[in-house]
Structure 1
Amino acid sequence: MANAADSQDARRKELGLFLRTRRERIQPEEVGFAPGLRRRTPGLRREEVALLAGVGVTWYTWLEQGRDINVSAQVLEAIAGTLRMERLETNHLFTLAGLRVGPVQAECTLLPVSVQKTLDAVSPYPAIVMNERWDIIAFNEAYCRVVLDLREIPLGERNMLWLNFVSDQWHCHFVDGETIRLHMVAAYRAAMANHLTEPAWQELTQGLLARSPEFATYWERYDVAAPSTRVKLVDHPEAGMLRVEPALLWLTQGGQFRVNVYTAADDDTEAKFRMLVDEPEIPAGRGAVRPAGGARVRPGQSAREQVFS
């Protein structure tokens, strides 16, 4: 049975092989070197990569050989730039090196424009894209108006677990919020089985354990579950009770991203969705909110503490 040391050795070996293949695909003349007549292998030499990236030749050689050396994010970015890596390749490089890649900033660049178009097309249904770690990667306008204006939330806090268990500013308005949070933790634990040694997952878990006694209690239960699609009740501050049923769609890109579309479970909720998205002001008798002067209050502003999960 492989232990942690074996896993790290395998990852460093894979890192070296990955760097070599990226190096060999770049022709010397593309980066200002003469082709030469004595090149026994295709692409750049190790010393040329080291020179362009501003690192020592010996250090870079050890990196390709899979030796146990210290690697910084700054140096890896320099190497990735030298080898003309795309963002997905750079993220893969960081993962192999055991360094964290910021979830939202890195993964958002991986989503094609067609995904955002799809999210916008399902309006008035709120929709978001999340990864296995519950990071919120993308969202539509309907989500901002009906559920929570994610544009107001810093990138580093756009994680559904963090919003539900730690954040003091954003709170869930599900009628059965405790059951939903318990299920979220169980689904997170099930997904983490494939990411136990990854720094980003460890950092999030330790942060939740340190900041939320409720999360710590649920975590100790060792429950596992799959993402839920059951009907949920939301007590919306302006529209009243909403019955929503999530539709989960997995994107083909790596399989780690899922689209959550919160569909209306009945006609009444359907009508309220359309009012909240297409007609921000709720008619009189339905909990409309108007500040002094009669100006409209957009639902995403007055209900921003609400979070779907």
Structure 2
Amino acid sequence: MTTAAPEQTEETAERKPWRAWPAVRTPRTAETGGTTRTPGRNTEIRRRELAAFLRSRRERITPEQVGLPRGPRRRTPGLRREEVAQLSAVGVTWYTWIEQARAAHVSAQVLDAVARALLMDPTERAHLFALAGTTDPRTEAECPVASKTALKVVERLAPYPASLQNARYDVLAANRPYAQLFGDPAELPPADRNCLWLLTTSERWRRDFLDRDEMLRDLIAKYRAGMAEHVAEPAWKQQLNRLLGVSAEFRELWGRHEVAPMSPHVKRYRHPVVGLVRLEHRNMWLAPQAPAHRVVAYLPADEESEERLERLAELPDERPAG
């Protein structure tokens, strides 16, 4: 019986570039007689998509765009494989195997080099890493600039408080009712404009958020659930380490390993002028992929809370003391 050799890696590819692995038969189930659906099948599909995507990006880049001479005998549209390998400092054999959907476990460093060599824009780069099932290692901070459309949505929700947040609960923008009720994020250092940070450290939030302890536990559980898809990203790790370093309470709750889903809930807030306000949180996602932003609207849970929000909107544009 023939035993299938292990999948290629960058190391084995460069050590034995001439060896072709024998085909592996897909097992059949006794119950159905059909092929078994295994994780390997999904991996194979991803490899083919990755290979096709790289070929398409390679063929659209001209030699002149990357500082290479065209030469009189060029027949290949765009760049040759060996040229991409040269620009990426990757072995020719290994890059060829990636485009032939034969390579497994392509490292983030190789993907980063290839993306740069092929002049990929942020969307193409994100697609490349998604196909490879690998986390992008670049350390550039996520751009905090919100679109004009998203800002307009947040502003038009007045007199209801609303903010624009990312998946890490950074507050990217907020309308006037939000600033009046919770404090103006623009008055804080950029690193502190984060709901998890404020629930953990802010004396004002500790005082005015009547369900603060429950909210913190719930938000940490949601943050842990969300971080599962971003565990290797520098911005998430940096934020987590900052919270762990500043708060014993956060460390204790984080150590519970609790997770929670996104769901509507009613919380109570005490404003120094209009009094108690009960609000229901509603999330409206603006994009299905990272960096995904969401509008968080705080809707009155009863008529009394709605009347108090209307009174709040009539107040002068002065922030209560924090």
Q: Alignment partner of 1:263: what SS? A: strand
The 5 A counterparts of 1:1-309 are 22-28=57-63, 36-44=71-79, 57=87, 59=89, 85-89=120-124, 96-103=135-142, 105=143, 108-109=144-145, 112-165=147-200, 167=201, 171-172=205-206, 173-254=208-289, 256-277=292-313, 279-281=314-316, 298-299=318-319, 302-303=320-321, 305=322
With a CA cutoff of 8 Å and minimum separation of 6, indicate the structure with the bigger relative contact order: 1
Residue-pair matches, total = 263
Question: Alpha carbons of 1:27 and 1:263: their partners in 2 closer, same or farther (altered >3 Å)?
Answer: same
Q: Quick one: which amino acid aligns to residue 155 of structure 1?
A: P
Mark the runs of 5 or more structure 1 residues left unpaired by the alignment.
1-5, 51-55, 282-296
Q: Alignment partner of 1:171: what SS? A: helix
Q: Distance in 2 between matches of 1:8 and 1:268?
A: 65
Q: Distance in 1 between matches of 2:10 and 2:136?
A: 9
Q: Distance in 1 between matches of 2:61 and 2:204?
A: 48
Question: Alpha carbons of 1:222 and 1:253: their partners in 2 closer, same or farther (altered >3 Å)?
Answer: closer
Q: Quick one: which amino acid aligns to residue 266 of structure 1?
A: D
CA RMSD of aligned residues (A): 4.0
Is the CA contact 2:266–2:281 (under 8 Å) kept in the aligned structure 1?
yes
Q: Distance in 1 between matches of 2:181 and 2:202?
A: 20
* Deviates further, 57-66 or 148-157: 57-66
Is the CA contact 2:211–2:268 (under 8 Å) kept in the aligned structure 1?
yes
Q: Distance in 2 between matches of 1:115 and 1:121?
A: 10
Question: Alpha carbons of 1:58 and 1:120: their partners in 2 closer, same or farther (altered >3 Å)?
Answer: closer
Q: Quick one: which amino acid aligns to residue 205 of structure 2?
A: H
Is the CA contact 1:183–1:225 (under 8 Å) kept in the aligned structure 2?
yes
Offset at residue 49 of structure 1 (A): 8.0
Question: Alpha carbons of 1:81 and 1:112: their partners in 2 closer, same or farther (altered >3 Å)?
Answer: farther
Offset at residue 33 of structure 1 (A): 6.7
Offset at residue 175 of structure 1 (A): 0.7
Q: Distance in 1 between matches of 2:66 and 2:297?
A: 46
* Partner deviation per Cα, 1:99-136 (whole Å, 9 max, x = no partner): 33323x2xx44x54322221122111111222332222
Larger radius of gyration: 2
- Share of identical aligned residues, percent? 37
Q: Distance in 2 between matches of 1:176 and 1:58?
A: 53
Is the CA contact 2:210–2:269 (under 8 Å) kept in the aligned structure 1?
yes
TM-score of the superposed pair, with normalisation by structure 1: 0.67
Is the CA contact 1:91–1:101 (under 8 Å) kept in the aligned structure 2?
no
Q: Distance in 2 between matches of 1:58 and 1:84?
A: 11
Q: Quick one: which amino acid aligns to residue 140 of structure 2?
A: V
